[in-house]
Chains A and B, each alone.
Chain A
Amino acid sequence: MKSTVHCKELPCLDVSGLLLRPAYYASGVPDDQQSVGVNPPDFVLSIQLTSQDFPYSLQVLGSCCFPCSLFMVPICLWDPKVVVAVLNIYISDILFGTSPGGNQNSTSHTTRILCWIMTGPKNLESRTNHIRATWAKRCNKVLYMSSTKTDFPTVELNVSEGRENLYWKTIRAFQYIYQNHLDEADWFLKADDDTFIVIENLRYTLSKYDPEKPLYVGRRFSPFIAQGYMSGGAGYVLSKEAVRRFNKGFQTGECTHYSTLEDVAMGKCMETMKVEAADSRDVKGRQVFHPYPPDYYVVRRPPRPRPWYLLYDHYTPVEGPGCCSDFAVSFHYIYAVQMYALEYLTHHLRPYGYKYRFNPDERTEIKTTTKMAKSKSRPESNRESVERTENCCSQTLSIQPH
């Protein structure tokens, strides 16, 4: 079924709730050779929907859809009738209902994240409270794991408090999640009650992986474990398959309470169960998970041998502004004031009109037409999208049922 698209000045359609796996590749390259960060002259945005309501896979061929970001499909490419017919009620809510950004409470069907926070009764008010007030609400699901059940609410893990019991807590937490919440998410984040997480950036980082593969993502450390292990404080993420294998490991006895060092012990089990340790760095090789606060990394230093807090890094660490990704996911040893300060710096304070240097989605730079002259100040982006639609709306929209 093919239909010619009609150009209209319409806002971007947020399909982040419907996207499983974005695939950018030059036309003709098959699906399994996807690689984010490659800049082909044309791109294909492939949307696959697993829900029974949406049995179609949509492919849009074109190169002009710049004004919208990764999970936004510009409506310039779609006849609204076609969109509504194929994508059902979800779309009409977005098009004619509330604003696209307003779907705060809609679960992302693609990169759903369950966050569990390792905490204890002593820290609920002084630390965990502030996590709840800041980043926890962006998780698809959040669980606060403690030794006791409270109205915070916390989940009781039947383990006593203390550093030596951290691995027991982790084991019990993942067991609890496996038994009660496995289907509610694709990825399972473990964080401490002094870890600051940027969930949007975690989603972005994880979007390039398949949660059905056994994967383990975080700040990779070298010692003790052959394939390395992920820093506990910086937060780490297990894919759904990794959670299954972690639990299986303890059921069969392949994994044991190897160490009181929670992150090393987790690394050992992951290695035993053949869960792969991933490279979480961004396309520029900058770190995304951080076991210390930003000032440890960002501050410029003269060239020197690795300081103690960088000794374990698996990938050669960089000190100074090149340390950390624009889309950083975590910082650790963040207490109340810094937690809110980071929330403010990440989600609130911004430089108006600033053209960020790092723009991984800016693909159309390669295929700019002569109309797109760069100037120091630009008018409303909508005007530019009208110019670009002249190009893209001559493309055809193909919809293939599967």
Chain B
Amino acid sequence: MFMKGMIMGGIFCLVLSLLASFNPSTEHTTEDHHHHHLQAPSKDELKHFSHSQMEDLSNQVRVYCIIMVQPKILVYWAAAIHTWSKHCDKAVFYTSEASKALEAVDLNEKDDWARLRKALTHAYENAGDLRWFFVAQPTTFAIIENLKYLLLTKDPNEPFYLGNAAKSGELDYVVYDSGIVLSYEALKRLVNVFKDEDKCPERGGSLWNVGEEKQLAMCLKYTGVFAENGEDIHGKGLFNSKSVESLISDSMQANPTNVVEGCCSDMAVTFNGMSPDQMQVMMFGVYRLRPYGHDFHDLLLFDPPVGSNND
């Protein structure tokens, strides 16, 4: 009787421990992406690379920009065409419906989440040899060179999903209007999970009344991809949901004696909520206006875009 009890207990224990270790979710890759913060490389880090390695790296960080537009915000659409998107290696505009004025991939889709899915799928299928994807809204302003710097030493064959990371309950997600960055691997997994109507339904938005940024996070989570916050080497966020003036205004309240240092990163990647005119001023402010005599000796060199005259 005693032996039977021991054996039963032993088996019970074994079964329990087996159940506990059984993790139904996912493939984690060797690099654990649960650390939530993704920092730009430091100058020292980059010094170790040889000339040809740097060439390879700079080829690898080429970016496919996915810009979601609609005819009703034509002025922003035009602003994106004539300003920051010229710095993308490939910039594709995805619209909800065709516009006679401007060219775009017409997804013919009113639902925001369904539209985003279609755009991402199209981008994946047309990526060519581009390995990084940047999703922007029309009110986003991006500095692609700084995005490339952030991604420089990251392998796009690993799943990366980053931007301004926020939390909603238990879900970490990347805020849409400050830009979403996806590596090739993340996008590949995403496009695959789109086929799963249980985990990632196409009409999920209407079902759960959750914005597309959170839907994206949920679908990616199923594939083992987690949101990370893009930061500079000082830990300052690089993706901003506000305009420069708005951030400065906040800093004047929070750090009145150190407004500029307490504000935004020198290597900021995105801002949001700037008017088309302000975006033109940003082009001047970012790509032209500077104090004479400061040489940075950056380790990479990005040529200005061909056929552009405002940068």
- Interface residues, chain A, CB within 8 Å of chain B? 16, 67-72, 101, 133-134, 198-201, 203-204, 294-295, 298-300, 320-322, 324, 326-328, 336-338, 340-358, 375-383
- Asked if B1 is an interface residue, CB under 8 A from chain A, the answer is no
Asked whether, in the complex, the Cβ of B244 is within 8 Å of the Cβ of A344, the reply is yes
How near does chain B come to A301, taking the closest CB pair, in angstroms?
11
Write the chain A residue with the least CB distance to B288.
A326
- Asked if B5 is an interface residue, CB under 8 A from chain A, the answer is no
Give the contacting residue for B299; candidates A204, A295, A321, A353; CB below 8 A. Answer: A353
- Asked if B266 is an interface residue, CB under 8 A from chain A, the answer is yes
**Known: A337-B252, A350-B286, A352-B267. Contact between A203 and B260, CB under 8 A?**
no
Which of chain A's residues have a CB closer than 8 A to the CB of B248? 337, 340-341, 344
How near does chain B come to A317, taking the closest CB pair, in angstroms?
16
CA of A79 to CA of B241, assembled, Å: 53
Can you report 28 A-B residue pairs in the complex whose CB atoms are below 8 A from each other?
Answer: A69-B292, A133-B259, A200-B292, A201-B291, A298-B281, A300-B280, A321-B310, A324-B289, A327-B291, A337-B245, A338-B245, A340-B251, A344-B248, A344-B264, A345-B285, A348-B260, A349-B266, A349-B267, A349-B268, A353-B145, A353-B298, A353-B301, A356-B290, A357-B288, A377-B57, A377-B300, A377-B301, A378-B300
Give the contacting residue for A376; candidates B245, B287, B303; CB below 8 A. Answer: B303
Asked whether, in the complex, the Cβ of B286 is within 8 Å of the Cβ of A349, the reply is yes
How near does chain B come to A16, taking the closest CB pair, in angstroms?
7
Asked whether, in the complex, the Cβ of A344 is within 8 Å of the Cβ of B145, the reply is no
- Asked if B295 is an interface residue, CB under 8 A from chain A, the answer is yes
Interface centre among B260, B283, B304 (most CB of A within 10 A): B260
Which of chain B's residues have a CB closer than 8 A to the CB of A342? 285
**Known: A294-B284, A377-B55. Contact between A326 and B143, CB under 8 A?**
no
Give the contacting residue for B301; candidates A16, A133, A378; CB below 8 A. Answer: A378
**Top-4 shortest CB links A-B:** A345-B285, A200-B291, A377-B58, A321-B310
Which of chain A's residues have a CB closer than 8 A to the CB of B288? 321, 324, 326, 356-358
**Known: A321-B284, A376-B303, A380-B299. Contact between A350 and B290, CB under 8 A?**
yes
B residues 267-311 touching A (CB-CB < 8 Å): 267-268, 277-278, 280-304, 309-311
Asked whether, in the complex, the Cβ of A340 is within 8 Å of the Cβ of B47, the reply is no
Write the chain B residue with the least CB distance to A293.
B281
Give the contacting residue for B289; candidates A71, A328, A382; CB below 8 A. Answer: A328
CA of A344 to CA of B311, assembled, Å: 18
CA of A379 to CA of B47, assembled, Å: 9
B residues 235-273 touching A (CB-CB < 8 Å): 244-245, 248-249, 251-252, 257, 259-260, 263-264, 266-268
Asked whether, in the complex, the Cβ of A16 is within 8 Å of the Cβ of B293, the reply is yes
Which of chain B's residues have a CB closer than 8 A to the CB of A349? 143, 244, 264, 266-268, 285-286
Q: Mark B147-183, 1 if CB is under 8 A from A, else 0.
A: 0110000000000000000000000000000000000
CA of A128 to CA of B225, assembled, Å: 50
How near does chain B come to A263, taking the closest CB pair, in angstroms?
24
